[in-house]
Structure 1
């Protein structure tokens, strides 16, 4: 590590408004970053982490917050004094950024390949062929299956985890001096997360790249950080080397932040989740299959099929939580969308004893009241033209529940229960941080008090303290109303702490299912063991020195027409613990 820092932030102040209405969003923040070093910035949503990164990139929204004081130096150059033309040369080439929400960062009308190639051509003296080769290598480096075919696809054709990998590939392709990673592994499953963290380590070792890692995952902080800055309400409350900060935090806020981290092996502690006795499960799924055709050629014929879900069966009793876990693209979110009636499917599906097929319009409306969904990307699932209070109240309006005053009162109560102030009801989605937007989505799903809530990565955008409060809220509501949850997550520690039963999916099929204690305490399938072993431990003393890297071809769910995958037979190894033969 050299004596001269590659990046220096001194007394940075970011403010909004003027005169008496002026408010400091980041207040007198200072830190340095050296070559080959990883600095982690941790803190709650709205603490100023992402604003700091946007200020470094010169991307603060206009009109809006401005740099009101301090300096940001890249080497000897003050970035706050550079005109926009000069900053465009710096971005991507010398400083690159991986954003938190990939769907809003990628151009929806351009293919993945074109976006990668254009980024490389903008900063490198490379031919189109060389740029395509570098783009393909970048996609393969982040372990995207069938990278050549993905180059021809559009962002909406990829899963959330796939889109985040594209963003990481785009940033890494240019090999910048400073890489700012704003929640870079939020949308990734643990195995791909481990590989991406390994890639970042390799780049640091080979090129001395300096990394600013913004994350609420304290396991990732413990795994990656050399130094940590803990932020709260725009100020740095504590900073220092990672090991002493984890071992003996000085500030109460840092202690509370570390105490809120879900940890593997603690899921069985405490009282079990209350259940409600019912004659039948809330949801019954039998032999569920979802296929998507891939068309090509001059006539647009089906040349292949994606077997996103390949014949799975499970029940979700009232008052219980079933978690689906697995890598991105394994079919978790597609299963959720099929149950919610958002994609066509084959098989049998019933909710609250009512079959979901061949329903009349009033019956479909009643089914939708019973089944609510919290999506993975909060910004894409909120109408930017509506106030968030109206968004949360909208389901109540559609179903004709309560008067206007009663709806406002219920919405205000929901905002308080998910950790937002009632006066936030008058704001718009863009005025919230990513974690705050997800809390709005959870409040909207709870508005109708449904029988089944499908939570698709519902807490992945939340910092650990808010995540803990939201998970506790979900448990309280479950005990009070007997709500069933289908919980989809790649965070194995969260899954272990909230689930009653767990189903592990791989390439569209369930390879292992059982109670929380069975799956986490005695995993029988090799894939389940690999998922659990990939979880980063929030303890710098247990940091991994090697990261798993898969070899050989990456398995794919794409098959020729009329060539379905072989169905896996699950055998009971005791007490309802079902495992597929390997």
Structure 2
């Protein structure tokens, strides 16, 4: 990757002995709920030196985010409060400050970048107005001077054409661009401490690399101390000088990055590191059971669980005074592949490449052209009833399990719902089958009468898997199904998917931007870019010998969970990822896949 390299980790000079800019002493945070008050952070102490990067890592519920909110004075009131301890910024106890003084410190001396920029930015205000207002609140600058500083901040985070961007709204920017705007807002006032709470979790791996590189550059230039909160141990290995591991609100281990990764002292840290998916450690791909391309009517095509030929999905964009269709999004353009029984094909690529749209077309959720066959039966020309019967063989597992489950229904009813819709079995038979499914995915039958909010994220995803299994499908589409989960939960869900595949012979279409996860679960991999496949082959072919430049860029951008492999620099993205919008009437630019040997297909 251009501009990438490797470097060994070296502690920043005097970081251990320098006077801390932030000192957290015996911090405890209590939350009040129906059962009374309970501590979610207990007796936590740490310090951060100027220019140092401290990573706080742990699973969901470990207290990482509550710690950051306590430091910022943003605990949700009146449900949460600091019950003990002190938070000193250059000797000033932030926990004891009134809100009027804390408001001045917040943003000016200490700033925060949140995980989801779209929820942190006001959708009805322009980017420029939001940055300028923040500068005006904390400085005596005039409106013109504040605007100029806003432009400088956007330039600092390498947003092209910064002055024009000031007039745009958040929805007009990509996810990576919005995150860069959040960083610009946080750094416009040159804070002493910057807290970044999962700043790259929802980003593509290449955009993630750019954001991490940006944080490192700005830290070198300004001397800002960085507290990075994450459950991504690859990001920890790339960024941290020191690491704190948290569990159930308590610190279980603290040390230098090298020590934490090479000689963890606690069982929990060892388990956390063991669960991290790593590149080049897969079990070895099985040879594909079905060729990647099929001629019409061949036996191989008939034996595939799913066959997609020349799939096209396009969305019209209306513009002009009369709303005339003048442009069209070529979301998927000429995609072809097949998936055999007991096989996992992964679609990978950055946001907007068309992988989720491909999945929705197969599941019948968006209109398409081309041919899709399920279990040898083409969907073309079928009646709605016949099409529905075929669709029973295709089920989906979505990224956010909580959004996939009706919060007003008991989880047992949610899993039984597909059976009820298709009028399968009596009430007692459905309940017995649901109980069996619950046990199969690692839950107990006595949990069937609970509601979704009573489960953890990993348990909710298991409920979604049970629901997908209810109709005994031949193909399950898993669309970013583990990207929002902690690494240990992610590992258990991936293990469950593999076990179920071996037991039932299910075919998986696995969609992800996490290349390490893909490398560990896939039999074959198809890489998508701008709605088309640019490379496809067995997992070993794609990961051991990537032939297309875009595939190489994706693989090289993956942060390695080993601080000894830390890169000196990430590749830079000087502009947004191009899109697949074309003017109506412009012919599509089709890529041609050529066989590079043994079925390894690469676009020329």
Q: How high is the TM-score relative to the length of structure 1?
A: 0.86
**Cα 1:306–1:210 shift into 2, 3 Å:** farther
Identify the residue that residue 167 of structure 1 maps to in structure 2. 179
Identify the residue that residue 234 of structure 2 maps to in structure 1. 219
Residue 347 of structure 1 deviates from its aligned partner by 2.0
Identify the residue that residue 505 of structure 2 maps to in structure 1. 482
Is the 1:229–1:239 Cα contact (8 Å) retained in structure 2?
yes
Identify the residue that residue 241 of structure 1 maps to in structure 2. 256
Partner Cα distance (2:151, 2:325) in 1: 28
Structure 2: where are the runs of 5+ without partners?
A: 1-14, 291-299
1:284 aligned to 307, 312, 321, which one? 307
**Cα 1:336–1:243 shift into 2, 3 Å:** same
Structure 1: where are the runs of 5+ without partners?
A: none
Identify the residue that residue 261 of structure 1 maps to in structure 2. 276
**Cα 1:303–1:478 shift into 2, 3 Å:** same
Partner Cα distance (1:360, 1:451) in 2: 21
Question: Is it true that 1:461 corresponds to 2:484 in the alignment?
Answer: yes
Question: Is it true that 1:191 corresponds to 2:206 in the alignment?
Answer: yes
Is the 1:274–1:479 Cα contact (8 Å) retained in structure 2?
no
**Cα 1:565–1:73 shift into 2, 3 Å:** farther
Identify the residue that residue 150 of structure 2 maps to in structure 1. 134
**Cα 1:419–1:74 shift into 2, 3 Å:** farther
**Cα 1:284–1:272 shift into 2, 3 Å:** closer
CA offsets, 1:150-184, max 9 Å, x none? Answer: 974664x87xxx33641342133330433322222
**Cα 1:134–1:393 shift into 2, 3 Å:** farther
- Secondary structure of the residue aligned to 2:20 is coil
Is the 2:118–2:170 Cα contact (8 Å) retained in structure 1?
no
- Secondary structure of the residue aligned to 1:350 is strand
Q: Which moved more, 1:15-24 or 1:570-579?
A: 15-24
Residue 504 of structure 1 deviates from its aligned partner by 0.9
Is the 1:393–1:447 Cα contact (8 Å) retained in structure 2?
yes
Residue 113 of structure 1 deviates from its aligned partner by 6.7
Q: Which moved more, 1:200-209 or 1:145-154?
A: 145-154
Question: Is it true that 1:314 corresponds to 2:337 in the alignment?
Answer: yes
Q: How does 1:377-526 map to 2 (within 5 A)?
A: 377-386=400-409, 391-401=414-424, 438=461, 440-526=463-549
**Cα 1:419–1:195 shift into 2, 3 Å:** farther
CA offsets, 1:47-106, max 9 Å, x none? Answer: 222222233333334554433222333333333334445444444444333333455555
Partner Cα distance (1:495, 1:430) in 2: 29
Residue 213 of structure 1 deviates from its aligned partner by 1.7
Residue 249 of structure 1 deviates from its aligned partner by 0.8
Partner Cα distance (1:261, 1:345) in 2: 37
Question: Is it true that 1:204 corresponds to 2:219 in the alignment?
Answer: yes
Report the number of matched residues.
576
Is the 2:277–2:516 Cα contact (8 Å) retained in structure 1?
yes
**Cα 1:113–1:335 shift into 2, 3 Å:** farther
Partner Cα distance (2:86, 2:510) in 1: 44
Partner Cα distance (1:350, 1:150) in 2: 48
Residue 570 of structure 1 deviates from its aligned partner by 0.6
Q: Which moved more, 1:311-320 or 1:75-84?
A: 75-84
Partner Cα distance (2:137, 2:455) in 1: 32
Larger radius of gyration: 2
Partner Cα distance (1:50, 1:33) in 2: 17
Q: How high is the TM-score relative to the length of structure 2?
A: 0.83
CA offsets, 1:167-213, max 9 Å, x none? Answer: 34213333043332222222222221111110010111011222222
1:23 aligned to 29, 38, 47, which one? 38
Identify the residue that residue 298 of structure 1 maps to in structure 2. 321
Residue 435 of structure 1 deviates from its aligned partner by 5.8
Partner Cα distance (1:334, 1:139) in 2: 34
Partner Cα distance (2:159, 2:314) in 1: 23
**Cα 1:395–1:141 shift into 2, 3 Å:** farther
Is the 1:502–1:516 Cα contact (8 Å) retained in structure 2?
yes
Partner Cα distance (1:375, 1:128) in 2: 46
**Cα 1:121–1:564 shift into 2, 3 Å:** farther
Q: Which moved more, 1:427-436 or 1:39-48?
A: 427-436
Identify the residue that residue 536 of structure 1 maps to in structure 2. 559
Is the 1:438–1:461 Cα contact (8 Å) retained in structure 2?
no
